[in-house]
């Protein structure tokens, strides 16, 4: 009996250790994406490309006004600048045609799933990098960037993702 308990404990400790080790690498990679101000693009788990600020600025970003509803506050109108995720994916030769959804992951673990149809809409899902003419700022700086996903059709901003580091087509 003691032996069984010892084995179970050893297995648990190993599992926790291995998970912690794997997560360490994961978080380090994610942090690197933040430092380089880039977003990793994946297709069914495989890395297929990287989006950076140079590319976003090359794709004729636009400014638009939306309401931001922060928790515990009244909605505020802000101007955001960015390009559609649709345009960025098209530029990176990523087709949404046979895809069901696009999963957006952030440095703090926040994850949202967008349907392929939503992302395919002409004027809805934006990757933004400026708010009211200023860079969004990183999480440590109290910002919401370097990149944020904004759904212009979500009036309560619940599904907006701050600190975005990864976009995966599924
Ligand atoms: N990465 C990330 N994005 C996020 C969240 C979060 O915790 N992490 N919270 C969501 C929620 S619940 C809201 S209401 C909006 C606005 O967040 P704010 O209250 O911090 O402005 O961001 C959304 N996007
Ligand atoms: Mo919220």
Enumerate the domain spans of the chain. 36-169
Token digits of residue 156: 């309560």
Q: 53 in helix, strand or coil?
A: helix
Instruction: Tell how strand 164-169 and strand 38-43 pair up.
Output: parallel
pLDDT in tens, the chain (170 residues): 899 999 999 999 998 888 777 777 667 778 888 888 999 999 999 999 999 999 999 999 999 999 998 889 999 999 999 999 999 999 999 999 999 999 999 999 999 999 999 999 999 999 999 999 999 999 999 999 999 999 999 878 888 999 999 999 99
pLDDT at position 31: 85
pLDDT, residue 104, reads 97
Tokens of 113: 């799933």
pLDDT at 161: 97
Q: Which ligand is nearest to the Cα of residue 150, counting in written order?
A: 1
DSSP tag of 4: H
pLDDT at 17: 85
Minimum CA distance residue for ligand 1 atom 14? 158
Ligand 1 nearest atom to the CA of residue 159, by list position: 23
In the reported structure, the alpha carbon of residue 69 is separated from the centroid of ligand 1 by a whole-number distance in angstroms of: 9
Residue nearest to atom 24 of ligand 1 (CA): 161
Cα of 118 vs centre of ligand 2, distance in Å, is 21
Q: Is the peptide bond before 50 cis (omega within 30 degrees of 0)?
A: no
The reported pLDDT for the residue numbered 162 is 97
The secondary structure of residue 152, as a DSSP letter, is: T
**Strands laid side by side in the 38-43 sheet:** 46-52, 38-43, 164-169, 101-106, 111-115
Decide: pTM greater than 0.85. Answer: yes
Structure tokens at 48: 């297929």
Q: Which ligand is nearest to the CA of 160?
A: 1
Question: Per CATH, is 36-169 categorized as 3.90.420.10?
Answer: yes
CB atoms within 5 A of ion ligand 2 belong to: 71
| Structure tokens that stand for 11 in this block | 């297995």
Indicate the SS3 state at residue 43. strand
Indicate which ligand has the atom closest to the C-alpha of 161.
Answer: 1
DSSP state of 69: -
């Amino acid at each position: 009996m003691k032996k069984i308990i010892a084995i179970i404990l050893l297995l648990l400790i190993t599992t926790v250790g291995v998970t912690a080790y794997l997560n360490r690498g994961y978080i380090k990679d994610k942090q690197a994406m933040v430092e380089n101000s880039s977003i990793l693009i994946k297709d069914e788990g495989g890395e297929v490309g990287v989006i950076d600020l140079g590319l976003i600025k090359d794709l004729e970003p636009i400014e638009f006004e939306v309401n931001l509803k922060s928790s515990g506050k009244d909605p505020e109108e802000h101007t955001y600048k960015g390009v559609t995720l649709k345009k960025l994916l098209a530029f990176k030769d990523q087709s949404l045609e046979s895809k069901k959804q696009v999963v957006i992951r952030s440095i703090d673990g926040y994850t949202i799933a967008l349907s392929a149809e939503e992302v395919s809409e002409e004027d809805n899902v934006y990757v933004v990098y400026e708010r009211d003419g200023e860079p969004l700022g990183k999480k440590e700086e109290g910002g919401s960037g370097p990149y944020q996903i904004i759904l212009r059709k979500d009036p309560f901003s619940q599904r907006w993702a701050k600190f975005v580091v990864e976009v995966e087509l599924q």
